[in-house]
Amino acid sequence: MSTPSTISVTDDFEVPLDRRPRHIAVIMDGNGRWAQRRGLPRIEGHRHGVASVRRVVEECNRLGIGQLTLYCLSSENWKRPQGELDFLMHLLEQYMIEQRGDILRQNLRISVIGRRDGIPDRVLAQIDKTIELSRANTGPMLCLAINYGARAEMVDAVRAIAEEVRDGRLDPNDVTEATISDRLYTAGMPEPDLLIRTAGEMRLSNFLLWQISYAEVWVTERTWPEFDEELLRQAVRDYARRVRRFGGLEE
C-alpha cells in the first residue's frame, strides 16, 4: 500500500511539516477506566472513545500526517465479557456506516490489519465496503488494527515465508528484514515514527512490535476519551524536539 501522493496542509501549527511524524500509531487505552470513574458502564467509555477517534483523525488530516494507525481491538480482547465485545462490534459497524461520508470528504484511505476470524460477517461487510469506496482516495491513510496481535502477525509472515521456501520460490539464504516486512499485514506502509499510548500505561501490548523498532514513544496519563486535538499537538511538538539517531551518533 503506497503512501499518499498529495496531502493538503492548511494549519497554523508551529512545527514545520518536515519535523512532523509521517506515521502516528496509537494504543487507545483507558475507555473502561474513564467510564468507571464516572460511575458509568464500561461500554460508555467505548462510546465516548469513538468521539476521540473522530477528533484525532480530523486533526491528523489537518496537520498533514500521512498515516494514522489505531489499535481498536487486540487478539487478546476476545477474553472480555461477551456483552462488551458485542457492543464493540456494534460500534465498529456503526462507525463504518456513519463515518463513510466524512471519510470520503476528507479524502482518507481506509485499511484494516489483523485476522478476520471472529468478526461478525455483517461487520466485515461494512469494513470491506468502506475500504473499497475509499480505495481511489489520494489523502492520508487511516489504518485500523482489529483482532490484531503482533505475534500472530509474525507467525503468519513466517508461515508465508516457509511455504515459499517449501515450494522452491524462495532460498532461505535470501531471507532479509525486507522479506519479513513485505509479508506483514502492514506491507507497503511506512513504519510508525511516533507511538502514542494513553492512560499512563507503559506497555507495548503486542502492537506493531516489528514496525515500531525505532518509533518515538509518547505516553499521557489522560485516558482515550479525554484525548483531544491539543494533546495530539503536544505529542507532535515533543516528537519534533527529539533527535532520532537510529542507532547512530548525533551529528
- Torsion 131-137-138-141 (CA) sign: negative
- Torsion 205-207-211-214 (CA) sign: negative
Cα(38)–Cα(21) distance, integer angstroms: 34
Phi–psi pair at 111, nearest 5 degrees: -135, 150
CA Rg, the chain, in Å?
Answer: 18
Whether 193 is catalytic:
no
Catalytic residue chosen out of the listed positions 12, 77, 173, 238: 77
Cα(66)–Cα(5) distance, integer angstroms: 9
CB 131 within 8 A of CB 111: yes
Helical segments of 135-243, H only? 150-166, 177-181, 229-241
Catalytic residue chosen out of the listed positions 29, 31, 61, 147: 29
Beta bridge partners of 112: 144
How distant, in Å, are the alpha carbons of 5, 76, 112, 118, 224 from that of 23? 14, 25, 15, 28, 19
Whether 29 is catalytic:
yes
Cα(40)–Cα(165) distance, integer angstroms: 53
Polymer length in residues for the chain: 251
Active site members: 29, 77
